[in-house]
Amino acid sequence: MEYKKIQGQDEEVYEALIGEERREREGLELIPSENYVSLAVREALGSVFTNKYSEGYPGKRYYGGQDYTDVVEQLAIDRACKLFNCKYANVQPLSGAPANVATYFALLEPGDTVLGMDLSHGGHLTHGHPVTEITKVFNFVRYKMKDVETGEIDYDEMLEVAKREKPKLILAGFSAYSRELDYEKFVAIGREVGALVMADIAHIAGLIAGGAAKNPFDAGFDLMTTTTHKTLRGPRGGMILVRESEEIIAKINKAIFPGLQGGPHMNNIAAKAVAFGEALTPSYRKYAGQILKNAKAMEEVFKREGVRMIGGGTSNHLILADVFGSLGVGGAEAEKVLDEVGITVNKNVIADDPRKPMDPSGIRFGAPAITTRRFEKEDAARVAELMIETMRNKDDAKKKEEIREEITTLALEKPVPEVFG
């Protein structure tokens, strides 16, 4: 993508843009919450829709001149509902965290209880971590894995907690959990205690849309929240999906606007519509399936090399590896040395981590972005080998330079496609 106008007007921003393009082109992105978007999505993000204020919803706006904003927002809604087999969608949330917060305010009263996954066992900050402001309003209680080595959730304990704490909302979803959840058990527990059941599918939305992972709606979930980037491969944004309840979507819509947000970012919504259109194609289903194959190929290398993985491996797109326990390298240092060779991961706490969050025991990585670059299983396995080789030779400058050259070659051989399909 060219930046001729920026180059002529703002050299500093231009240099940063060119630098980021070079970094992405010559390196490999393995952070499982990141991906590459198509040029079509980028065009929508930079379109004239950025000029338009559109408070309200299609057909019910507070400003005039909404002929075409209504078209793109309705397209995004209709395509989202088709992708996830539901009746209603709100595509205005600015990202995943605002989508979760809006859902809490829509469906709960201050002081009500939410049951969600513990952060150190794979949950997200917005699922009730004490550092978040939302915990000052609602009461969050947590469930964990029963067995860290297999990733099995303790559903018996979850039921006991639900009976004791009487949550109004039970939340299935995660940020660093590598196995599939038993959605039927979540619904059964929710029905037994009279709670709504919600899934935060931010990480696996693309896998669900592409038919590579189970859809919580099929098990009877009431609603889902998600980001629109990550595996869904759209612009950075959020979305709330409601299976069938007109009452719930009415509350959600009111919480988003006018409750918590003003005018929606229409350029972003147009880009969501484009991305959802891409996700409805047969090639996208192939992409989603390949993510799982590539992640499994990386798991096999880490297992062969004796690196402990939380949950014992992966059933989705990501791996959480205990690199401190297995290789004697802290998560922060592992992130740094892998960055040096052109591999981007993120440091991450592991279950009941004895180390601090800014220098934890683990790293989190996954296959969505390299799969977009059309990496196959053999390519993904080689990347995993180079990751371990880098961490084992973290102080060997010559070895790291050799690995950097191989990574650059791999990256340049498989550029990000301009068109998906």
What's the CATH code of the domain at 16? 3.90.1150.10
- On whether residue 419 sits in a domain, the answer given is no
251 and 391 belong to one structural domain: no
- Whole-number Å distance between alpha carbons of 315 and 287: 16
Region 212-239 average pLDDT: 98
In angstroms, rounded to a whole number, what is the distance separating the alpha carbons of residues 343 and 59?
A: 46
The total number of structural domains in the chain stands at: 2
Residues 211 and 91 in one domain: yes
Domain with 64, as residue range(s), is 43-279
Average pLDDT score over residue span 224-252:
98
Of the residues 231, 248, 279, which one is the last residue of a structural domain? 279
pLDDT at 255: 98
Does 418 fall in a domain?
no
**92 with 166, same domain?**
yes
Task: Quote the DSSP letter at residue 281.
Answer: S
Assess if residue 363 is contained within a domain: yes
Give how far Cα 390 sits from Cα of 95, 100, 104, 306, 396, Å.
Answer: 34, 38, 43, 15, 9
CA-CA distance, 82 to 77, in Å (whole number)?
9
Per-residue pLDDT tens over the stretch 297-332: 999 999 999 999 999 999 999 999 999 999 999 999
Amino acid identity for residue 250 in this structure:
A
Q: Which helix (H) or strand (E) holds 315?
A: none
Region of 194 (left: φ > 0; alpha: ψ -120 to 50; beta: rest) is: left
State whether 208 and 185 are in the same domain.
yes
**Catalytic residue numbers?**
53, 55, 200, 227, 230, 236
What CATH number should be reported for the domain holding residue 257?
Answer: 3.40.640.10
83 in the same domain as 63: yes
Residue 2: per-residue pLDDT: 86
The per-residue DSSP string of 336-391 comes to HHHHHTTEE-EEE--TT-SS-TTS-SEEEEESHHHHHTT--HHHHHHHHHHHHHHH
pTM of model > 0.95: yes
pLDDT of residue 119: 83
Q: Is residue 379 part of a domain?
A: yes
Domain annotation covers residue 2: no
Same structural domain, 298 and 240? no
CA 391 – CA 331 distance, rounded (Å): 10
295 and 200 in a common domain: no
Residues 293 and 275 grouped into a single domain: no
Spatial contact of 168 and 184, defined as CB atoms under 8 Å apart = no
Half-sphere exposure of 45 (CA within 13 A, CB side): 13
Give residue 192's pLDDT band: very low, low, confident or very high (50, 70, 90). Answer: very high
Provide the pLDDT confidence category of residue 134 given band limits of 50, 70 and 90: very high
Q: Flag whether 114 is in a domain.
A: yes
Band the pLDDT of 1: cuts 50, 70, 90.
Answer: confident
For 28-75, write each residue's pLDDT tens digit: 999 999 999 999 999 999 999 999 999 999 999 999 999 999 999 999
Residues 99 and 211 in one domain: yes
Q: What is the pLDDT of residues 338-397, one digit of tens each?
A: 999 999 999 999 999 999 999 999 999 999 999 999 999 999 999 999 999 999 999 999
- Which of residues 258, 279, 300 is at a domain's end? 279
Is residue 150 domain-shared with residue 266, that is, in the same domain?
Answer: yes
The average pLDDT across 249-271 equals: 98
Domain end point (choices 279, 305, 327): 279
Nearest to 387 by CA among 410, 413, 417, 358: 410
Q: Residue 378 falls within a domain, yes or no?
A: yes
pLDDT at 128: 87
Q: Which residues contact 341 (CB under 8 A, 6 or more apart)?
A: 386, 390, 400, 403, 404, 407
Neighbours of 284 (CB within 10 A): 23
Nearest residue to 242 (alpha-carbon basis) of 152, 412, 69, 107: 107
Same structural domain for residues 50 and 192?
Answer: yes
Q: Tell me, yes or no, whether 117 lies in a domain.
A: yes
**131 secondary structure, DSSP code:** T
Q: Is the pLDDT of residue 129 over 90?
A: no
Q: Give yes or no: residues 26 and 142 share one domain.
A: no
pLDDT value at position 120?
A: 85
Helix axes 266-279, 67-84, angle to 10 degrees: 40
pLDDT recorded at residue 3:
95
Cα separations in angstroms, 130 against 99, 202, 335: 19, 21, 26
156: tokens are 């018996």
Residue 156 identity (one-letter amino acid): D
* Cα 231 from Cα 251, distance rounded (Å): 28
Give mean pLDDT, residues 81-93. 98
Percent of the chain whose pLDDT exceeds 70: 100
Residues 90 and 73: their CA atoms lie apart, in Å, by 9
Contacts of 385 (CB under 8 A, 6+ apart): 301, 305
